[in-house]
Chains A and B, each alone.
Chain A
Amino acid sequence: MFQNQTSSLKFGWIKWGMVFGILLGAFASLPVSFSQEPSSSNGPSSSNGTGTFELRGRVRERGTKKILEGVNVFILPSKLKATTDAEGRFVVPSVPVGKFTVVVNLAGYQKLEQEDEQLAGESEKRELFLEKTSYLVYETTVFGRKDKRDESSKSLSQDQFLNVPGAQGDPIKAVQNLPGVNRPPQGTAGVIIQGSAPQDTAYQIDGHEVPIIFHFGGLSSVVLPEALDRVDYLSAGYGPENGRANGGLVGVWTSKPRTDRFRGFGYVDTFNAGFKMEGALPGPGEGGFVIGARQSYVGAVLKSVLKDQDAFSFTVAPTFSDLVGIFQWKLSEKDEFKISNVISSDSLEFLFSTPQDSDPTVRGDFSNHTDFFRIIPQWTHRFSSELTSRFSLGLGRDFIDFTIGSNSFDLDNTQLTTRGEIDWKVNPSWATQFGFDHLYTRSDVSFNLPNVVSEGGVSNPFASGETRQASVKDVGLRQIGLYWRNEVRPGGAESAFTLLPGVRTEWVTATQEFIALPRFAMKYQVDDSLFVRLGSGLYSQAPEPQQVDDNYGNPDLRSPRSAHLALSAEKDFREGSSRGFVLSGGLFHRWFSDLVEQSTDEVERDGVTVPEYYSNTGDGRSYGAEVLGRVELAPFTGWLSYTLSRSVRSSDGGSEQLFQYDQTHLLTAIAAVDLPRNWRISTRVRYTTGNPYTPITGSVFDADNDVYFPVRGTLYSERLNPFFQLDFRIDKKWVYDTWILWLYLDVQNATNRKNVEQLQYAYDYSESATVSGLPVVPSFGLKAEF
């Protein structure tokens, strides 16, 4: 009856088909990418036979070959001058033959002073390369500014997340340094926003939802970081364009391909290797492409570390791979089309050599595969400077299977998401956006799993749960969101006040609910350097699928709701310069209601008394203050983020208790200093309050299953020790004319502190011991880019 079909097999055809398609597109683009030679107007220069010659050349950035336009090229001692055109080319007529000096002096670059000589005869084209002052610039100036519509969001650009110490170049790990982001337990994958639950955060690629944003255990995000333009983090009070997440949203946006030249890189580090290629596409329009891929071998490292374990042995080491392809065309002056392709694959298999003392059902083979792909076409049409439409699709499939011994879960999910928006600047004081956001999934699912009860973060034994088994096909789920956002300046375009009223509606087929969710924000620009913002709104999030299942859930559940209120301000002390301080901060408060909890009650449904399984009896709050200070005093840069927060939950009207992820203090300090010769040293320090946990006061023996039930004390009444970690990173770049060699050392937990991540118990809970997180983890990387 139950078929544990391996999804990777199904996925393989699609995966390799897409790989082939992307590579085909990439190779098709290569001839054009490489054919960026000068036109005939820039043919070979020649001396004119009168004692002078025409000096032709091109100025580019050293290492990256970036074309430098508008650069003055001086010829000494004849005091001649030329300026580079859009192609970086320059022509200096009538340069006297003989020795001369080329001088180029451009801000941000080292002065070029090159001795040269031209004898009579035909001269060669000169290739000049300007070396940047630093190739390791750590920019914070674009923080939260790029393409920003929602003031509740914070954005990290590629430059930032690639260089943040401790984040290993990963955008999502870099987000975890921001204020309001709780530290997740080590080995878990997710972003916990302002005291909400990990599952209350939605993850998007180019605005379209994806099942995971991290590979296994939070090792790395699922898209090659260098193929991303930025990562957005939306917290309390986010706008109506997004929804279905009571916590917030983390979205990554793929980069726009650069078409000025063909470029790329390849890298190898301790855990994985990858590459990226980028350039222009053939055909009409200004088309470009980015393709990249990664393959991890972290599993091989883990396998060697755990080879002496008697408890289990790896049969397939944990591994992940991902592939990204981005193609963009400017179809006309008014139309742009972009298509992003993302493929991600994770797999892990191992064998328990004997049934475990703590639970005999944990035995035999364990395997987990998570694969998905998304194809995201995006079309932007500008009717006029006031009216723009955007439309995009997210078509993909998710394959997830999971096996422990005789227990298994297999999901084949086809997902189509659509987003559309009309952006209309009605007049200088009013802009409005209408949009829709539709999610459709069709699923085939089979499972044979026990119901695992967890309370207070402590799970009952696997063996003691009621086994649930089903196999169903072609089950659809729809969520349709409509939104209307407004940006109004009541006193005219120059008004210091901006009002942002909006509303979002959701139709959720799983719960048969139509939900209206008003949002309101207000911004007051005190002066050019200071603004204050108020954000508020109602939010909802559909119950998890299994919770509303007709047989093993409660089909009468409602969507959990939340209300957000956030007050924030930002003061830029730099007064127009590139040096100085920026200080931002705010207060947030969230109220959660109708949270879904496990129920032991029985209810009458369709005239039959059945277990309720789940109920909307949970409530909660999270509130706090957060502050972010950034400093840019080149060559020193850094930031300091601090959050003071409290998150509580209550059950069925009972008293409040701490939430599992409550962390009173969250402190992150990051500093970097750029040194001469393209060295940079950076460091990160993190301190967080330890997570609450539920003490276990005893146990009861389950004689049927030969396991022990934990007897819980007061839920979340104790805390793990505070977490402290120091990371540092050293970068060094060697810059050659046409390529750059980059070496880095990223050391996590440099002090080798034994941070307690969880408690481990004896088989009968009579004794406990702490389990520490990762020890010092050095990661070497080598990257060659051109």
Chain B
Amino acid sequence: MKYQVRRLVGSWGFLLGGLTSLSACSDMGFPEAWELGTLRVLALQADRPEVNPLVDGSFTITPVVSDLSGEGRALEYEIQFCYDPAVAYGADPDCDNHPDALLGSSAVTRTGVLGGLSDPTYTGAVTEGAVGDFTFTVPATLLSFLDSEENAVELNNGVPFSVVFTVTDPLTGESVTAFRRINATTRSILNSNPTLLGVQDSDGNTITTVAAGGDEVDLEAVLPDDVAESYTAKFRDGSSETLTEAIFISWFSSSGELSGGRSEVNTFVTFTPPDADTVTSGDTPAPFLFVLVRDDRGGSQFVSIPTAP
């Protein structure tokens, strides 16, 4: 590593400029990340976020979609599976231009009609049109030819595959795309999805429903103490380190107000339900919450807090 600092620090002013602008963006009237309404993908949960293709490379994706304002309209999907096009290094996150000999002459592409979104939330896990459309297998040949010494970093940290999922309204052409990685590794202990036990308020009361017109409430995700898994990462300088996952919680709401769209373990967000009158009049959707927990290795879990009956 060779460091000459003149140019290295020259661009840091841009960072400061960006941080300053961060303070400005809160007043710009942008939609909040926690607001549900338009068509969006909230998660692409994999039953196995990491696989060892030398043992079993199969995994199944569960897309989590919200289309509250679509109110049950017909949606189509396209799901692709390909060798990661090096998104971390700047490649576009798609499979279109990245044919992969390991998977055949081109990426695996499947299409169908989406199911599973239902009244009243139109938010949650969706189902494939044809059984098995969301199940893929990382070929064992991916790792078998790698040298155990020269490719120790890749074998341990993993080689990513990409799953690209696109939902389209065939009538309007409205479309959203999401992608995720499936990590192929020879680690003995593979990553698993975090456990989400539920949601509770600041008094420790479990929250199972939310209602319009209620009081402001502080909410946190209930997680087991060992929700953050430890794992060993290897680096290109030959070093390795035992790391612990970072856990993020994402909060979504159909109406009302959340103090923020994200929280960390043991931290709260404040939910202010909408006025009952506005819900009754139909100006505001009935409130419900959707909570997602992610680790920083691709694992995820979610829970829906429905409107009180």
Contacts and interface: CB of A to CB of B under 8 A. Distances in A.
A199 B91 contact: no
Interface stretch (B36-44, B110-118, B134-142): B36-44
B33 A763 contact: yes
B205 interface: no
Which of A366, A475, A545 has the largest count of B CB atoms less than 10 A from its CB?
Answer: A545
Given A445-B1, A704-B180, A544 B7 contact: yes
A451 B91 CA distance: 13
B282 interface: no
Interface string B254-265: 000000111110
7 contacts: A217-B13, A355-B262, A360-B248, A360-B262, A455-B90, A469-B241, A706-B250
Interface string A212-240: 10101110000000000000000000000
Interface in B237-292: 237, 239, 241, 246, 248, 250, 260-264, 267, 292
Given A470-B237, A763-B33, A475 B12 contact: no
A315 interface: no
Interface string A346-376: 0010000011110011010010101000000
A406 interface: yes
Contacts of B10: 189-190, 198-199, 212
Contacts of A509: 2
Interface in A509-560: 509-510, 542, 544-546, 548-552
A709 interface: yes
B30 A767 contact: yes
Interface size class of B (residues with CB under 8 A): 35 or more
Given A310-B26, A477-B4, A545-B8, A451 B89 contact: yes
Contacts of A186: 17
B32 interface: yes
B217 interface: no
A86 interface: no
A581 to B, nearest CB: 37
B21 A771 contact: yes
B30 A769 contact: yes
B150 interface: yes
Contacts of A64: none
Nearest to B269: A354
B202 to A, nearest CB: 16
B131 interface: no
Given A185-B17, A187-B13, A357-B262, A464 B88 contact: yes
B200 interface: no
Which of B8, B13, B23, B150 has the largest count of A CB atoms less than 10 A from its CB?
Answer: B13
Which of A357, A441, A476, A760 has the largest count of B CB atoms less than 10 A from its CB?
Answer: A357
Interface in B199-237: 233, 235-237
Contacts of B248: 355, 360, 706
Contacts of B144: none
Nearest to A447: B1
A198 B23 contact: no
Interface in A740-778: 757-758, 760-764, 766-767, 769, 771
Nearest to A204: B6
Given A199-B10, A700-B94, A764-B40, A472 B1 contact: yes
B177 interface: yes
B48 interface: no
A551 B25 contact: no
B9 interface: yes
B148 interface: no
B30 to A, nearest CB: 4
Contacts of B297: 704
A187 B17 contact: yes
Interface string A455-499: 100001001111111111001110000000000000000000000
A67 B156 CA distance: 77
Contacts of A762: 30-31
Contacts of B40: 701, 764
Contact of A211 (B5, B241, B262, B294): B5
Given A188-B13, A189-B12, A218-B13, 20 more contacts: A211-B6, A212-B10, A214-B13, A309-B23, A357-B32, A400-B8, A413-B4, A413-B5, A466-B88, A477-B4, A550-B1, A551-B237, A600-B91, A701-B41, A703-B43, A706-B292, A706-B294, A709-B87, A760-B28, A769-B28
Contacts of A348: 16
B20 interface: yes
A512 B54 CA distance: 42
A198 B13 CA distance: 11
Nearest to B25: A760
B29 interface: yes
A541 to B, nearest CB: 9
A130 interface: no
A202 interface: yes
A453 interface: yes
B102 interface: no
Interface of A: 1-2, 185-190, 198-199, 202-203, 209-212, 214, 216-218, 306, 309-312, 348, 354-357, 360-361, 363, 366, 368, 370, 398, 400, 402, 406, 411, 413, 439, 441, 443, 445, 451, 453, 455, 460, 463-472, 475-477, 509-510, 542, 544-546, 548-552, 598-600, 607-608, 611, 613, 700-706, 709, 711, 757-758, 760-764, 766-767, 769, 771
B271 to A, nearest CB: 14
Contact of B178 (A312, A406, A464, A701): A701
B17 A188 contact: yes
Contact of A441 (B3, B25, B90, B92): B3
Nearest to A611: B89
Contacts of A198: 10-11
B72 interface: no
Contacts of A600: 85-86, 89-91
B30 A187 contact: no
A411 B12 CA distance: 14
A760 B21 contact: yes
Contacts of A355: 248, 262-264
Contacts of A704: 180-181, 294, 296-298
Nearest to A187: B17
Which of A467, A475, A476 has the largest count of B CB atoms less than 10 A from its CB?
Answer: A467
Closest 9 pairs between A and B when the two form their complex, measured CB to CB: A187-B17, A551-B236, A701-B178, A762-B30, A453-B90, A188-B13, A199-B7, A466-B88, A189-B13
A544 B8 contact: yes
B19 interface: yes
B129 interface: no
Contacts of B86: 600, 611
B269 to A, nearest CB: 8
B46 to A, nearest CB: 9
Contacts of B11: 188, 198-199
B22 interface: yes
A615 to B, nearest CB: 12
B179 to A, nearest CB: 6
Contacts of A608: 147, 150-151
A705 B296 contact: yes
A211 B17 contact: no
A549 B90 contact: no
A318 to B, nearest CB: 8
A216 to B, nearest CB: 6
A121 B242 CA distance: 94
B6 A203 contact: yes
Contacts of B13: 187-190, 214, 216-218
B1 to A, nearest CB: 4
B250 A701 contact: no
B176 interface: yes
B30 A312 contact: no
B23 A306 contact: yes
Nearest to B43: A703
B23 A311 contact: yes
B93 interface: yes
Given A310-B26, A355-B262, A706-B250, A366 B19 contact: yes
